[in-house]
Amino acid sequence: MMLRLHGNMPTEDDVAAWMKEGSVIQLQVSETGVQAPHTMLVNFGSVVFAWLTPDNPGRGVDL
């Protein structure tokens, strides 16, 4: 699943720590093709792969 993050952008170190610690993090996201951001709780203990890539300027980062 690809999510577009909105608001404060996590660093690669943040995401790596969340995965290592199995953290549940509240993020403002929108799915690809969906306009309005919404809150999603992500259980990073179940995430096995995260690819952070810059999106178009001003539109956030894809996770």
Torsion angle defined by CA atoms of residues 26, 51, 53 and 6, in that order, rounded to the nearest 10 degrees: -10
Q: What is the pTM of this model?
A: 0.71
- Tell me, yes or no, whether 63 lies in a domain: no
Each residue of 1-52: pLDDT tens digit? 778 888 888 989 999 999 999 999 999 988 876 678 899 999 999 888 887 7
Q: How many domains does the chain have?
A: 1
- Tell me, yes or no, whether 61 lies in a domain: no
Residue 2 and residue 7: Cα distance in Å, rounded?
17
Domain span at 22: 3-56
